[in-house]
Amino acid sequence: MSELMIEATDVSKKFGDVHALDGVSVTAKRGSVLGLLGHNGAGKTTLINILTTMLPPSGGSAKIAGFDVVRQGHEVRSRIGLTGQFAAVDEQLSGHDNLVLIARLLGASRNQAHQRADDLLEQFDLTEAAKRNAKTYSGGMRRRLDLAASLVGRPEVLFLDEPTTGLDPASRLAMWEIVEKLAADGTTVLLTTQYLDEADRLADTITVLSKGKVVASGTSAELKAQVGQRTVTVTLDSASDVDIAMKAVNAVGLHPVVEGLTLTTPVSASRDLATVVRALDDNGLEAHEIGLKEPTLDDVYLTLAAN
Protein backbone atom coordinates (compact mmCIF):
# COMPACT_ATOMS: atom_id res chain seq x y z
CA MET A 1 0.00 0.00 0.00
CA SER A 2 2.51 2.57 -1.06
CA GLU A 3 0.27 4.09 -3.70
CA LEU A 4 0.54 7.87 -3.77
CA MET A 5 -2.86 9.47 -3.27
CA ILE A 6 -1.57 13.02 -3.10
CA GLU A 7 1.29 14.04 -5.29
CA ALA A 8 2.09 17.72 -5.75
CA THR A 9 5.19 18.56 -7.73
CA ASP A 10 6.73 21.99 -7.68
CA VAL A 11 3.35 23.71 -7.39
CA SER A 12 3.35 27.47 -7.48
CA LYS A 13 0.59 30.05 -7.39
CA LYS A 14 0.78 33.76 -7.96
CA PHE A 15 -1.92 36.28 -7.10
CA GLY A 16 -0.68 39.34 -8.92
CA ASP A 17 2.62 40.05 -7.21
CA VAL A 18 1.96 37.74 -4.28
CA HIS A 19 3.71 34.41 -4.50
CA ALA A 20 1.24 32.44 -2.42
CA LEU A 21 3.01 29.18 -3.30
CA ASP A 22 6.53 28.90 -4.59
CA GLY A 23 7.58 25.45 -5.75
CA VAL A 24 5.76 23.30 -3.20
CA SER A 25 6.03 19.51 -3.41
CA VAL A 26 4.18 17.16 -1.09
CA THR A 27 3.15 13.52 -1.22
CA ALA A 28 0.90 11.29 0.82
CA LYS A 29 0.49 7.54 0.62
CA ARG A 30 -2.89 5.85 0.72
CA GLY A 31 -4.29 5.82 4.20
CA SER A 32 -1.78 8.26 5.63
CA VAL A 33 -2.34 11.62 7.27
CA LEU A 34 -0.34 14.53 5.93
CA GLY A 35 -0.13 17.56 8.20
CA LEU A 36 0.44 20.93 6.62
CA LEU A 37 1.73 23.26 9.25
CA GLY A 38 2.05 27.00 8.84
CA HIS A 39 1.13 30.43 10.08
CA ASN A 40 -1.62 32.54 8.62
CA GLY A 41 -0.71 33.42 5.06
CA ALA A 42 1.75 30.55 4.67
CA GLY A 43 -0.18 29.24 1.67
CA LYS A 44 -2.04 26.30 3.24
CA THR A 45 -5.46 27.17 1.89
CA THR A 46 -4.05 27.99 -1.53
CA LEU A 47 -2.45 24.55 -1.73
CA ILE A 48 -5.70 22.88 -0.70
CA ASN A 49 -7.58 24.92 -3.28
CA ILE A 50 -5.22 23.75 -6.00
CA LEU A 51 -5.29 20.11 -4.91
CA THR A 52 -9.10 20.14 -4.80
CA THR A 53 -9.34 21.75 -8.28
CA MET A 54 -10.82 24.98 -6.90
CA LEU A 55 -7.91 27.00 -8.28
CA PRO A 56 -5.59 26.33 -11.19
CA PRO A 57 -1.89 26.37 -10.29
CA SER A 58 0.36 28.95 -11.93
CA GLY A 59 3.09 26.34 -12.28
CA GLY A 60 3.90 22.74 -11.42
CA SER A 61 1.48 19.85 -11.38
CA ALA A 62 -0.53 17.80 -8.95
CA LYS A 63 -2.27 14.47 -8.95
CA ILE A 64 -4.92 13.14 -6.61
CA ALA A 65 -5.42 9.38 -6.67
CA GLY A 66 -3.45 9.43 -9.91
CA PHE A 67 -5.66 12.03 -11.62
CA ASP A 68 -4.34 15.37 -12.74
CA VAL A 69 -6.02 18.26 -10.92
CA VAL A 70 -6.05 20.48 -14.00
CA ARG A 71 -6.95 18.07 -16.77
CA GLN A 72 -9.03 15.55 -14.83
CA GLY A 73 -10.88 17.79 -12.41
CA HIS A 74 -14.08 15.79 -12.57
CA GLU A 75 -12.26 12.53 -11.74
CA VAL A 76 -10.51 14.24 -8.86
CA ARG A 77 -13.70 15.77 -7.50
CA SER A 78 -15.47 12.43 -7.52
CA ARG A 79 -12.83 11.01 -5.17
CA ILE A 80 -12.26 13.78 -2.68
CA GLY A 81 -13.96 15.40 0.26
CA LEU A 82 -13.24 18.97 1.24
CA THR A 83 -13.89 20.69 4.52
CA GLY A 84 -12.76 24.24 4.03
CA GLN A 85 -11.88 26.88 6.53
CA PHE A 86 -15.42 28.21 6.38
CA ALA A 87 -18.35 25.85 6.67
CA ALA A 88 -19.71 25.08 3.21
CA VAL A 89 -23.23 24.18 4.22
CA ASP A 90 -26.55 25.55 3.06
CA GLU A 91 -27.74 27.66 5.95
CA GLN A 92 -31.24 27.76 4.53
CA LEU A 93 -31.64 23.99 4.67
CA SER A 94 -31.80 21.60 7.59
CA GLY A 95 -28.81 19.44 8.44
CA HIS A 96 -30.62 16.41 7.06
CA ASP A 97 -31.52 18.14 3.80
CA ASN A 98 -27.96 19.35 3.39
CA LEU A 99 -26.65 15.80 3.43
CA VAL A 100 -29.44 14.41 1.26
CA LEU A 101 -28.73 17.13 -1.28
CA ILE A 102 -25.09 16.13 -1.58
CA ALA A 103 -25.84 12.44 -1.72
CA ARG A 104 -28.34 13.05 -4.53
CA LEU A 105 -25.86 15.17 -6.44
CA LEU A 106 -23.35 12.37 -6.08
CA GLY A 107 -25.79 9.97 -7.66
CA ALA A 108 -27.47 8.26 -4.71
CA SER A 109 -31.12 7.29 -5.03
CA ARG A 110 -33.63 8.99 -2.74
CA ASN A 111 -33.64 6.10 -0.29
CA GLN A 112 -29.89 5.74 -0.28
CA ALA A 113 -29.51 9.47 0.25
CA HIS A 114 -31.82 9.52 3.27
CA GLN A 115 -30.12 6.46 4.71
CA ARG A 116 -26.66 7.98 4.30
CA ALA A 117 -27.81 11.30 5.78
CA ASP A 118 -29.27 9.57 8.83
CA ASP A 119 -26.13 7.50 9.33
CA LEU A 120 -23.85 10.52 9.15
CA LEU A 121 -26.07 12.64 11.39
CA GLU A 122 -25.94 9.89 13.96
CA GLN A 123 -22.19 9.46 13.61
CA PHE A 124 -21.64 13.18 14.09
CA ASP A 125 -24.06 13.53 16.94
CA LEU A 126 -26.46 15.73 15.02
CA THR A 127 -29.55 13.53 15.02
CA GLU A 128 -31.44 15.80 17.37
CA ALA A 129 -30.73 18.86 15.27
CA ALA A 130 -31.34 17.06 12.00
CA LYS A 131 -34.54 18.88 11.10
CA ARG A 132 -33.42 22.34 12.16
CA ASN A 133 -32.11 24.96 9.77
CA ALA A 134 -28.32 24.85 9.68
CA LYS A 135 -28.44 28.59 10.33
CA THR A 136 -29.36 27.82 13.94
CA TYR A 137 -26.38 25.51 14.51
CA SER A 138 -23.51 26.39 16.83
CA GLY A 139 -20.02 26.72 15.39
CA GLY A 140 -19.07 23.21 16.45
CA MET A 141 -22.26 21.70 15.02
CA ARG A 142 -21.80 23.54 11.77
CA ARG A 143 -18.25 22.26 11.54
CA ARG A 144 -19.44 18.70 12.15
CA LEU A 145 -22.18 19.05 9.53
CA ASP A 146 -19.62 20.41 7.10
CA LEU A 147 -17.34 17.46 7.74
CA ALA A 148 -20.26 15.07 7.41
CA ALA A 149 -21.10 16.74 4.09
CA SER A 150 -17.60 16.10 2.81
CA LEU A 151 -17.85 12.44 3.80
CA VAL A 152 -21.16 11.68 2.09
CA GLY A 153 -19.45 10.17 -0.95
CA ARG A 154 -16.96 8.18 1.13
CA PRO A 155 -13.99 10.05 -0.34
CA GLU A 156 -10.65 8.38 -0.84
CA VAL A 157 -8.85 11.59 -0.05
CA LEU A 158 -10.11 14.07 2.50
CA PHE A 159 -8.90 17.66 2.78
CA LEU A 160 -9.38 19.46 6.05
CA ASP A 161 -8.44 23.13 6.19
CA GLU A 162 -7.81 24.12 9.80
CA PRO A 163 -10.51 21.78 11.07
CA THR A 164 -10.21 22.80 14.70
CA THR A 165 -9.49 26.52 14.51
CA GLY A 166 -11.97 28.31 16.71
CA LEU A 167 -13.35 25.17 18.34
CA ASP A 168 -13.61 24.70 22.09
CA PRO A 169 -11.31 22.05 23.61
CA ALA A 170 -13.99 19.36 23.76
CA SER A 171 -15.04 19.83 20.13
CA ARG A 172 -11.38 19.87 19.18
CA LEU A 173 -10.78 16.54 20.82
CA ALA A 174 -13.89 15.13 19.17
CA MET A 175 -12.60 16.31 15.79
CA TRP A 176 -9.24 14.64 16.42
CA GLU A 177 -10.95 11.37 17.20
CA ILE A 178 -12.98 11.58 14.01
CA VAL A 179 -9.87 12.17 11.93
CA GLU A 180 -8.08 9.29 13.61
CA LYS A 181 -10.98 6.99 12.89
CA LEU A 182 -11.14 8.03 9.24
CA ALA A 183 -7.44 7.45 8.82
CA ALA A 184 -7.73 4.07 10.51
CA ASP A 185 -10.44 3.19 7.99
CA GLY A 186 -8.06 3.91 5.14
CA THR A 187 -8.97 7.46 4.12
CA THR A 188 -6.01 9.55 3.06
CA VAL A 189 -6.16 12.85 4.89
CA LEU A 190 -4.47 16.16 4.28
CA LEU A 191 -5.04 18.55 7.12
CA THR A 192 -3.72 22.01 7.68
CA THR A 193 -3.18 23.47 11.07
CA GLN A 194 -1.49 26.21 12.98
CA TYR A 195 -1.25 23.96 16.01
CA LEU A 196 1.70 21.73 16.64
CA ASP A 197 0.07 19.40 19.06
CA GLU A 198 -2.55 18.75 16.40
CA ALA A 199 -0.03 17.92 13.68
CA ASP A 200 2.04 15.92 16.13
CA ARG A 201 -0.92 13.88 17.24
CA LEU A 202 -2.66 13.29 13.91
CA ALA A 203 -0.12 13.44 11.12
CA ASP A 204 2.11 10.64 9.90
CA THR A 205 4.19 13.15 8.01
CA ILE A 206 4.37 16.88 8.47
CA THR A 207 5.23 19.56 5.95
CA VAL A 208 6.03 22.98 7.32
CA LEU A 209 5.05 25.82 5.00
CA SER A 210 6.30 29.34 5.35
CA LYS A 211 5.62 32.14 2.89
CA GLY A 212 4.67 29.69 0.18
CA LYS A 213 7.71 27.48 0.53
CA VAL A 214 8.29 24.13 2.16
CA VAL A 215 10.78 24.80 4.92
CA ALA A 216 10.79 21.32 6.38
CA SER A 217 9.11 17.98 5.98
CA GLY A 218 9.21 14.51 7.43
CA THR A 219 7.82 12.63 10.38
CA SER A 220 7.74 14.60 13.56
CA ALA A 221 10.78 12.65 14.77
CA GLU A 222 12.63 13.37 11.54
CA LEU A 223 11.81 17.03 11.79
CA LYS A 224 13.25 17.22 15.24
CA ALA A 225 16.36 15.43 14.04
CA GLN A 226 16.59 17.67 11.01
CA VAL A 227 16.62 20.73 13.17
CA GLY A 228 18.94 18.92 15.53
CA GLN A 229 19.30 21.93 17.72
CA ARG A 230 18.75 22.72 21.29
CA THR A 231 17.07 25.93 22.23
CA VAL A 232 17.50 28.46 24.95
CA THR A 233 14.32 30.07 26.26
CA VAL A 234 14.36 33.20 28.33
CA THR A 235 11.23 34.55 29.98
CA LEU A 236 11.35 38.15 31.12
CA ASP A 237 9.24 40.29 33.41
CA SER A 238 8.10 43.02 31.04
CA ALA A 239 7.78 43.94 27.40
CA SER A 240 10.45 46.63 27.72
CA ASP A 241 12.85 44.03 29.10
CA VAL A 242 12.03 41.89 26.07
CA ASP A 243 13.14 44.68 23.74
CA ILE A 244 16.42 45.18 25.56
CA ALA A 245 17.07 41.46 25.79
CA MET A 246 16.33 41.08 22.09
CA LYS A 247 18.98 43.66 21.19
CA ALA A 248 21.47 42.18 23.63
CA VAL A 249 21.04 38.66 22.29
CA ASN A 250 21.14 39.87 18.69
CA ALA A 251 24.41 41.59 19.50
CA VAL A 252 26.01 38.26 20.40
CA GLY A 253 24.94 36.80 17.09
CA LEU A 254 21.78 34.89 18.05
CA HIS A 255 18.36 35.49 16.55
CA PRO A 256 15.58 34.66 18.94
CA VAL A 257 11.89 34.44 18.25
CA VAL A 258 9.62 36.36 20.61
CA GLU A 259 6.36 34.94 21.91
CA GLY A 260 4.83 37.08 24.63
CA LEU A 261 7.54 37.63 27.19
CA THR A 262 9.55 34.63 26.07
CA LEU A 263 12.54 34.63 23.75
CA THR A 264 13.41 31.36 22.09
CA THR A 265 16.62 30.88 20.18
CA PRO A 266 18.24 27.82 18.71
CA VAL A 267 21.79 27.32 19.89
CA SER A 268 24.52 25.17 18.48
CA ALA A 269 26.44 24.50 21.65
CA SER A 270 25.59 24.47 25.31
CA ARG A 271 28.06 27.23 25.99
CA ASP A 272 25.66 29.48 24.10
CA LEU A 273 23.51 29.31 27.19
CA ALA A 274 26.30 31.01 29.06
CA THR A 275 26.60 33.55 26.23
CA VAL A 276 22.93 34.43 26.58
CA VAL A 277 23.11 34.69 30.35
CA ARG A 278 26.14 36.97 30.06
CA ALA A 279 24.45 39.17 27.47
CA LEU A 280 21.45 39.65 29.73
CA ASP A 281 23.63 40.27 32.72
CA ASP A 282 25.70 42.87 30.88
CA ASN A 283 22.49 44.78 30.20
CA GLY A 284 21.35 44.62 33.80
CA LEU A 285 18.48 42.29 33.00
CA GLU A 286 17.27 39.57 35.28
CA ALA A 287 15.44 36.73 33.61
CA HIS A 288 12.26 35.45 35.20
CA GLU A 289 13.07 32.01 33.90
CA ILE A 290 15.82 30.66 31.72
CA GLY A 291 16.42 27.21 30.36
CA LEU A 292 18.00 24.92 27.81
CA LYS A 293 15.58 22.63 26.01
CA GLU A 294 15.99 19.61 23.82
CA PRO A 295 14.31 20.19 20.45
CA THR A 296 10.55 19.76 20.27
CA LEU A 297 8.22 20.17 17.35
CA ASP A 298 7.40 23.60 18.71
CA ASP A 299 10.93 24.68 18.12
CA VAL A 300 10.92 23.27 14.63
CA TYR A 301 7.88 25.33 13.95
CA LEU A 302 9.26 28.45 15.54
CA THR A 303 12.68 28.29 14.01
CA LEU A 304 11.62 27.23 10.54
CA ALA A 305 8.33 28.96 10.05
CA ALA A 306 9.45 32.26 11.51
CA ASN A 307 12.34 33.07 9.22
Ligand X SMILES: Nc1ncnc2c1ncn2[C@@H]1O[C@H](COP(=O)(O)OP(=O)(O)O)[C@@H](O)[C@H]1O
Short-list 64, 79, 83, 34, CA closest to 209: 34
**Residue 45 is a binding residue for Mg ion (CB under 5 A):** yes
At closest approach, how far in Å is the CB of 81 from Mg ion?
A: 17
Letters for 16-55 (x = contact with ligand X by CB under 6 A, - = none) are --x-x-----------------x-xxxxxxx---------
Q: Specify the pairing of strand 33-37 against strand 205-210.
A: parallel
- Among the listed ranges 2-10, 107-115, 228-236, 290-298, the one in contact with other proteins (CB under 8 A) is 107-115
Instruction: Report yes or no: 245 and 285 within 8 Å, Cβ to Cβ.
Output: yes
Identify which of residues 40 and 240 has a Cβ nearer to ligand X in the complex: 40
- Among the listed ranges 14-22, 196-204, 218-226, 261-269, the one in contact with ligand X (CB under 6 A) is 14-22
- Among the listed ranges 29-37, 97-105, 228-236, 294-302, the one in contact with other proteins (CB under 8 A) is 97-105
70 contact, one of ligand X, other proteins, Mg ion, none, CB 5-8 Å limit per kind? none
**In Å, how far are 45, 79, 90, 116, 135 from 36, measured between CA atoms?**
10, 20, 28, 30, 30
Residue among 31, 35, 81, 95 that touches other proteins (CB under 8 A): 81
**Residue 83 is a binding residue for ligand X (CB under 6 A):** no
Three-class secondary structure of residue 285 per DSSP: coil
Burial of residue 111, with CB atoms counted within 10 A of its CB: 0-12 exposed, 13-18 middle, 19 or more buried: exposed
Letters for 272-291 (x = contact with other proteins by CB under 8 A, - = none) are --------------------
Beta bridge partners of 293: 231
C-alpha 39, offset from chain centre: 9
C-alpha 208, offset from chain centre: 9
Residue among 6, 36, 37, 87 that touches other proteins (CB under 8 A): 87
Question: How far is Cα 94 from Cα 229, in angstroms, rounded to an integer?
Answer: 52
Query: What are the φ and ψ backbone dihedral angles of 71, each rounded to 5 degrees?
Result: -85, -25
Letters for 27-66 (x = contact with other proteins by CB under 8 A, - = none) are ----------------------x--xxxx-----------
**Residue 86 is a binding residue for other proteins (CB under 8 A):** yes
**Residue 91 is a binding residue for other proteins (CB under 8 A):** yes
Identify which of residues 38 and 81 has a Cβ nearer to Mg ion in the complex: 38
**In Å, how far are 3, 8, 14, 64, 113 from 186, measured between CA atoms?**
12, 20, 34, 15, 23
Determine the residue type at 200: D
Which residues make up the interface to ligand X (CB under 6 A)? 15, 18, 20, 38, 40-46
Which residues make up the interface to other proteins (CB under 8 A)? 49, 52-55, 74-75, 77-82, 84, 86-93, 97-98, 101-108, 112, 133, 149-150, 153-154
